[in-house]
Amino acid sequence: MTSMPIPMSEATATVWSRWFITASLRTTPRLSTSFRLQEQGVRFQTATDTEVIAQLIAQHLNGDLMSAVRKVLPLLKGTYGLAIVSPRDPDVIIGARLGSPLVLGIGQGENFLASDPSALAGHTNKVVYLHDHQVCILGRDEWTIQDLNPDRAPPSISIEDIDWDVGDADKGTFEHFMLKEIYEQPEALENAMRGRLSDTDASAHFGGLNLDTQALRGMDRMIITACGTSYHAGLVGEYLLEEIARIPVDVEYASEFRYRNRPIERNTLMLAITQSGETADTLAALRESKRKGHPTLALCNVVGSTIAREADGGVYLHAGPEIGVASTKAFTSQVMVLTMLALYLGRMRNLSSVQGLRIVEELRAMPAMIQRTLACDDAVRRIAEKYFQANNFLYLGRQYLFPVALEGALKLKEISYIHAEGYPAAEMKHGPIALVDEETPSVFLIPRGAVFEKVMSNLEEIKARGGPVIAIASENDEEVAQQVEDVIYMPEVPEYLQPLVAAIPLQLLAYHIALLRGCDVDRPRNLAKSVTVE
Ligand code: AGP
């Protein structure tokens, strides 16, 4: 070991911000290691724990990068997904994973390493998922995967084909991936439904549930765990599954669930919802559920992702790669799959074939309804021009549209950096109404439905306090239009399907406001597409 300062150029463990080759170490060992290295004269150039790994590799480097990596990895505690490059041999990348995802992309005259296969769209369709305790070496024309323990037999390797379309990797005629993905929603919903709806059975079918009818019929409760937008889709799922399938559902943030020791009744099915299939908290919640012996299902978009592989069964969204950090088409696809799941489970319990068939037909109409909703884009842009300088927004809805209010607020926060609160509209009077003033727009989700009159009276309470209101209302609803400053119309659909259409104007509103504020819509600050660390 040297006590001389080691320049970063000796070895670099790269953190790629977009597709996040990441490393996270538990705090105590990280600090003690970095203190020890500093005592030995190492000067750190960043404040990231990843650099500790780079410095350790540099310390152990004696000509052969792979052997230095092999010596350092057993010293690390915590999770990591590493891409290690040395300027002495820039055509070679060494990859290693423990707990964080890593996928190798096989090209022609080029190979790739990423933590999410979406990053490889447009480059290659052939991927190999690395497992924990594996390392790989990539050159331009060759690659190998080895076990970290050299005494173990070489791992068996399976090369998987990913079903990308040529256009998935570029923005086409759109300025941003987020806008492209918003406009892809009619097609994404078609793909989510393809081959899964049956007129004969008046129901839905899923290939990969891996649970027989008896097991599903005997299920008394469902717990959904997820994060962020997927959590909001889970909340919509709670309303759907309880109303259509009459199954009691709880929805929990995966990050909370994983450390809670909540009593879970027998016959409870655990459902993880995740676009990427790699979110660390959702993965930990899934593993904890399995450890406790509960059957697990996953709703994932990314084929072959860790959660898709580890769940007992699951359903793919088939939404295609989602590249914008703000999730859009994955949200509506998740809600669509949850609706089909509710139909499927409902048909085993309480739904007649007549009711089932009606739902099948209403679902089939949704892509056209989304297409029609997208026509609001110009109106939304004009409204964005009016309000983009506001510092606070409120998003309000009830019942099926309460989770959509949460999702609208999240979209605005994450890409425009404006503070936004999503609330059940009737909860305003219990405190948040104090926030209302002339500078704070409220976005009201108020299409016609069972609680229309109730939401209308919530809206009047906001108006009475001088708050400007942007209403998302049913087409041609003059009564609402007369009450509010601005209105965006959505087509009339049955109440349980309103989240699918109501989400669209909120996605567009966040998009246009972020653009007007000069924000990087596809890559908002401080965020990564997959959150593979705790
Ligand atoms: C959504 O716009 C966010 N980028 C984020 O909340 C995301 O939904 C969350 O990190 C969960 O990701 P997952 O669906 O891939 O698990």
What strands lie across the sheet with 442-446, from one edge to the other? 419-424, 392-397, 442-446, 469-474, 486-490
Ligand 1: centre distance to CA 408 (Å): 14
Nearest to 276 by CA among 253, 296, 301: 301
Ligand 1 atom at minimal distance to the Cα of residue 227? 11
pLDDT at residue 166 in the model: 58
Backbone φ, ψ for residue 395 (5° rounding): -120, 120
Ligand 1: centre distance to CA 227 (Å): 6
- Return the residue matching tokens 């890559």: 523
Ligand 1: centre distance to CA 298 (Å): 15
Q: Tell me how far apart the alpha carbons of residues 478 and 469 are, in angstroms, rounded to a whole number.
A: 15
3-state secondary structure of 531: coil
pLDDT at residue 485 in the model: 94
pLDDT at residue 213 in the model: 86
Q: What is the mean pLDDT of residues 487-506?
A: 98
Ligand 1: centre distance to CA 178 (Å): 14
Q: To the nearest 5 percent, what fractions of the chain are helix, strand and coil?
A: 45, 20, 40
- Choose one of 230, 257, 300, 414 to mutate for the ligand 1 pocket test, by most ligand atoms within 8 angstroms of C-beta: 230
Ligand 1: centre distance to CA 327 (Å): 6
Is 7 a residue whose pLDDT tops 80? no
Is 314 a residue whose pLDDT tops 50? yes
pLDDT at residue 63 in the model: 85
Ligand 1 atom at minimal distance to the Cα of residue 330? 14
pLDDT at residue 27 in the model: 36
Q: Tell me how far apart the alpha carbons of residues 167 and 188 are, in angstroms, rounded to a whole number.
A: 14
pLDDT at residue 156 in the model: 86
Ligand 1 atom at minimal distance to the Cα of residue 527? 4
CA 439, 440, 445, 450 torsion-angle sign: negative
Q: Is 195 left (phi over 0), alpha (psi -120 to 50) or beta?
A: left
CB of 530 closer than 6 A to ligand 1? Answer: yes
Alpha helices by DSSP H, 439-477: 452-464
Ligand 1: centre distance to CA 411 (Å): 11
| 358 CA to centre of own chain | 30
- Return the residue matching tokens 């070496």: 137
pLDDT-based confidence at 31, cuts 50/70/90? low
CB of 325 closer than 6 A to ligand 1? Answer: yes
Backbone φ, ψ for residue 51 (5° rounding): -65, -25
Q: Tell me how far apart the alpha carbons of residues 147 and 157 are, in angstroms, rounded to a whole number.
A: 11
Greatest Cα pair distance in the chain? 78
CB 85 within 8 A of CB 93: yes
Q: What's the pTM?
A: 0.85
Q: Tell me how far apart the alpha carbons of residues 279 and 308 are, in angstroms, rounded to a whole number.
A: 11
Tokens at 498, concatenated: 């309103």
- Choose one of 271, 276, 506 to mutate for the ligand 1 pocket test, by most ligand atoms within 8 angstroms of C-beta: 276
Ligand 1: centre distance to CA 526 (Å): 13
Ligand 1: centre distance to CA 235 (Å): 14
CB 92 within 8 A of CB 137: yes
- Return the residue matching tokens 């480059």: 123
pLDDT at residue 170 in the model: 82
- Return the residue matching tokens 């594996």: 134
Residue type, 451: V
CB of 230 closer than 6 A to ligand 1? Answer: yes
Nearest to 129 by CA among 162, 158, 100: 158
Using one digit for the tens of pLDDT, what is the confidence trace for 342-401?
Answer: 999 999 999 999 999 999 999 999 999 999 999 999 999 999 999 999 999 999 999 999
CB of 324 closer than 6 A to ligand 1? Answer: no
Burial (0-12, 13-18, 19+ Cβ within 10 Å), 152: exposed
Q: Tell me how far apart the alpha carbons of residues 510 and 534 are, in angstroms, rounded to a whole number.
A: 27
pLDDT at residue 286 in the model: 97
The mean predicted confidence, pLDDT, of the chain is 90
pLDDT at residue 37 in the model: 83
Tokens at 364, concatenated: 């089939």
Q: Tell me how far apart the alpha carbons of residues 254 and 256 are, in angstroms, rounded to a whole number.
A: 5
CB of 279 closer than 6 A to ligand 1? Answer: yes
Is 5 a residue whose pLDDT tops 50? no
pLDDT at residue 389 in the model: 97
How many CA atoms lie within 13 Å of 58's alpha carbon, on the beta-carbon side? Answer: 27
Backbone φ, ψ for residue 246 (5° rounding): 55, 40
